[in-house]
Chain A
Amino acid sequence: MSSSAPVRTDLEAALRELLGDGLTGGDAAFAVDGMLPEFVATPASVDELASVLAAAGDHGAAVVPWGGGRHMGLGNAPARYDVALRTGKLDRVIEHEPADLTITVEAGTTMGALQELLREHGQFLPIDAPTDATVGGVLASGVSGPSRHAYGLPRDWLLGCRVAQAGGVMVHGGGRVVKNVAGYDLPKLFVGSLGTLGVIVEATFKVSPLPPAQETLVVHAASVEAAASLVFAADERSLSLRAAALRAQGADMQAVFWLAGPPSAVDRTSRELHELATGAVERLEGRASEPWWSSLVDVPTSGLELRASLPPSAVAGFIAGWEGEVVAYPTTGLVLVRLEATATEELAGQVARARALAEASGGTLVVASAPAELKKRLDVWGESEGLPLMRRLKQQFDSNNTLNPGRFVGGL
């Protein structure tokens, strides 16, 4: 689809009328895989955002939804990119009833602001993300982190959401109560869909009480196998853990545990982990734990990052042999490999071999970010068996291919 000049002018006029100062020109800060948008749209309300989508649809423009910009490395390079659609101004708290353990916020709310608000009430949302990532961005990219060991994935905490569809029609799925089976579970479809089915504008979460006690133990291990077996041994005992990670940086191998729960359970967990550990143990007490775990999550996305989802039993085998930094959450089968993206040719081959290894064990591998040049040579998502069904779904929800065209699985 070519973007002829008169069409652009019309689109600009339409957006200008809707947004006024909320419309600016393309800007390198909104580049996706080296591509710049023609316009950056910053709607001040959900209604404005929906109107932008309607206008984009009318003018055949391609829209890339933009939250905090923290996970923009995920996905194929866009097939087209006319408008960056920012959700940052949609940052109101719609409803928070602490005693219900639920909260409804607009999608541009940052995870940092959300967690801060919840903490005042002794609560948190057990989804790990950089503090400047937005709620909408985290949901759309489907990322998760250390806490998935005890708390599961974002999909498990989202009770309902409102979404602006391509064309601007608003829909909601789910609800604001913790248990609800009325109608299809649409929120599940939007989590991890990279904004290709609609733009999430509001989300209701179930939240959790903050564990009363916490600490972190970093256990040094002689090998991947030793570290992994320590993690699985702890898991077999159902110890009171929020997270269990493996971390490899060159020759240094660590098994790291985030202990959380009632003080007595944390004490016993600490005792048993000290017994199980064969290497040196470092201990971080109380809230000193938190920055350590944030540092695993809040990493720049400029380099090459691979994300493998594996059966837990395949994790240790997959990790062995990688140069660079590896962080893994073995009990839930997530492995992140971060590499210096230098030798393009060689890396492309390495990615293909890693994917083959992941798939041989029943897992999958996604390129979570890569420099634009390298990404051109990579298959970002791998093969997906449900692709024909996914294609029909995309066709149903966004037949004009307005939203993030080309960036998702199978070029959707």
Chain B
Amino acid sequence: MIRSLERAIGNEAVLWRPEQLLAFEYDGTIERAQPQAVVFPTSAEQVAEVVRIALDAGLPVVPRGAGTGLSGGAVAALGGVVVALTRMKRILEVDTENRLAVVEPGVVNLELSKAVEPLGLYYAPDPSSQRACTLGGNVAENAGGPHCLAYGVTTNHILGLEVVTPEGEIVWLGGRTRETPGYDLRGVFVGSEGTLGIATKIVVRLLRLPEATRTLLAIFDEVDQASAAVSSIIGRGIVPSALEMMDREIIRAVEPALHVGYPMDAGAVLLIEVDGLREAVVEQAEAVRDVCLREGAREVREESEAAERERLWAGRKGSISALGRLAPNYYVLDGVVPRTKLPAVLRQVYALGERYGFPIANVFHAGDGNLHPNVLFDERRPGERARVLEIGAEIMRLCVDAGGSITGEHGVGYEKRSFMEWIFSEADMAAMAKVKAAFGSNDLYNPCKVFPTGKGCGEVSQAQIERVMAQAGPDAYV
């Protein structure tokens, strides 16, 4: 099989020696599994070819972007051939008149925005890993980010896709216009976590850079005050472009590491951004400031220049890597609750942490109700991992009970497939299986992802999930 792969796409595009495969055993989580080979195709035809070779040999196919995912989606759970798209990294076309770009899947998210910035344009979805993550991976996960509050997540910005189906066919889904007749296949492909095919070309919408942007940092004594401010801002009819919260534990990690000026005794900070026409931005910033002060903010800082705004964001962007200062390990969670349930759910999350004896640090997209609790622990202590998983599951359960979801942007992947049954009935998942069948996908195509059952995956056991847990290194982002 290795030889067929090499014949198809060249020796230098196929890795198969065990030492070469090491780096491809895991993604942003710490689940590890060794593939038989990693291939680096450079065209849709090559992707189609390697998919056919692998499946004909009875081996699983696992698509992979930059490997920054946080749900184990790129892990070769049952071995097989990892199809890494990182060499397909050309921006094929930028159409300024129609505000779109056609890119290959390996283009790094931020690189696209940088490339079109001189034209006054940008690509809106901005996952925190945007310096590393690829647009192909973003499509697979339907990635979000801080600025998705106002501008929507990946699916709202994809016009069309060239896709290699699991059967090795090359088809276009959607196109270059806002809508195309027929079923919205592009819509269902986005967020399918690499189980319906591999995108080889992506048509994305580009937005005009806003005329003005203001960033505010509001400092609160209590996390409840910050939560109340979030509700009040939204309730006042203001839709900021970003509305992020960091709690006491995050501040304790970030400030000594990055010296961004967060008071060490603060209970929470909100990072709020508004953008648009100059006049509107000034007005909105003022309204946001008023709300925060009324909800008890002890201080509100405000910046309008890019460099100063960057400084306010630095603490947010470096928050996860700073967690290493507080504990040897941390487990990054991703759940969603209705905004109005934020204060109650946060209190329950902290209470759980106390009951289990784990500090929990929260940094998250408050405006969307998208929580990222980080459970701090030390894996060297016996039995600790199992308990971290337990609390993780309990926190997910809290989100579901509050009417929310088990994932807002990281995906179900390998990690959360046993939780799918909490929010979807058998019939719901049967309908998803119909979609999978229509795309010609099967048990060898990115196996053991999204759905709780799959041939050879077994039931999701405690031991399996345990291995998926993220201790996440400096490359982790939420």
Chain A: residues with CB nearer than 8 A to chain B? 97-102, 122, 142, 144, 148, 152-153, 155-156, 165, 169-173, 175-186, 188-189, 191-193, 197, 208-210, 212, 236, 238-240, 261-262, 264-265, 267-269, 309-313, 332-334, 362-364, 366, 381-382, 384-390, 392-393, 395-397, 408-410
**Most B Cβ at <10 Å: residue of A176, A179, A262, A390:** A179
> Do A171 and B427 form a contact, CB below 8 Å, given A181-B142, A193-B183?
yes
The residue from A98, A212, A265, A396 contacting B279, defined by CB atoms under 8 A apart: A265
* Total cross-chain contacts (CB, 8 A): 253
Q: Show 20 A/B contacts (Cβ-Cβ < 8 Å), sorted by A.
A: A98-B235, A100-B339, A178-B339, A179-B153, A179-B405, A180-B404, A181-B410, A183-B429, A185-B188, A189-B183, A192-B183, A209-B238, A240-B277, A262-B284, A264-B279, A309-B177, A312-B99, A384-B180, A386-B173, A409-B181
Whether a CB of chain A sits under 8 angstroms from the CB of B337 is yes
Give complex CA distance A363, B177 in Å: 6
A-contact 0/1 string along B326-360, CB 8 Å cutoff: 00000000001111100000000000000000000
Chain A residue numbers with a CB within 8 Å of B439 are 389, 392
Q: B370 contacts A179, CB within 8 Å?
A: yes
Whether a CB of chain A sits under 8 angstroms from the CB of B369 is yes
Q: Residue of B at shortest CB range from A189?
A: B188
Give complex CA distance A238, B278 in Å: 11
**Distance from B190 Cβ to chain A, minimum over Cβ atoms (Å):** 7
Chain A residue numbers with a CB within 8 Å of B440 are 392
Q: A156-B152, A311-B98, A408-B182 are in contact. List 5 more A-B contacts (CB 8 A).
A: A184-B191, A189-B184, A189-B187, A240-B277, A265-B276
Give complex CA distance A183, B141 in Å: 10
Give complex CA distance A179, B243 in Å: 14
The residue from B155, B173, B435 contacting A186, defined by CB atoms under 8 A apart: B435
Q: A387 contacts B403, CB within 8 Å?
A: no
A-contact 0/1 string along B163-203, CB 8 Å cutoff: 00100000111011111111111011011100000000000
Whether a CB of chain A sits under 8 angstroms from the CB of B288 is no
> Do A101 and B234 form a contact, CB below 8 Å, given A192-B179, A384-B180?
yes
Q: A99 contacts B234, CB within 8 Å?
A: yes
Chain B: residues with CB nearer than 8 A to chain A? 95, 97-99, 141-142, 144, 148, 152-153, 155-156, 165, 171-173, 175-185, 187-188, 190-192, 208, 210-211, 231, 234-235, 237-239, 276-277, 279-280, 282-284, 336-340, 365, 368-370, 403-412, 416, 420, 423-425, 427-432, 434-440, 450
Q: B369 contacts A178, CB within 8 Å?
A: yes
Chain A residue numbers with a CB within 8 Å of B405 are 175, 177, 179-182
Q: B408 contacts A384, CB within 8 Å?
A: no
Q: Residue of B at shortest CB range from A385?
A: B172
The residue from A122, A262, A390 contacting B283, defined by CB atoms under 8 A apart: A262
> Do A183 and B181 form a contact, CB below 8 Å, given A262-B280, A264-B279, A364-B175?
no
The residue from A122, A192, A389 contacting B171, defined by CB atoms under 8 A apart: A389
Q: Residue of B at shortest CB range from A264?
A: B279
Q: A179 contacts B409, CB within 8 Å?
A: yes
**Distance from A175 Cβ to chain B, minimum over Cβ atoms (Å):** 5
Chain A residue numbers with a CB within 8 Å of B283 are 262, 264-265
> Do A185 and B190 form a contact, CB below 8 Å, given A142-B179, A192-B183, A364-B177?
yes
> Do A177 and B185 form a contact, CB below 8 Å, given A192-B179, A309-B180?
no
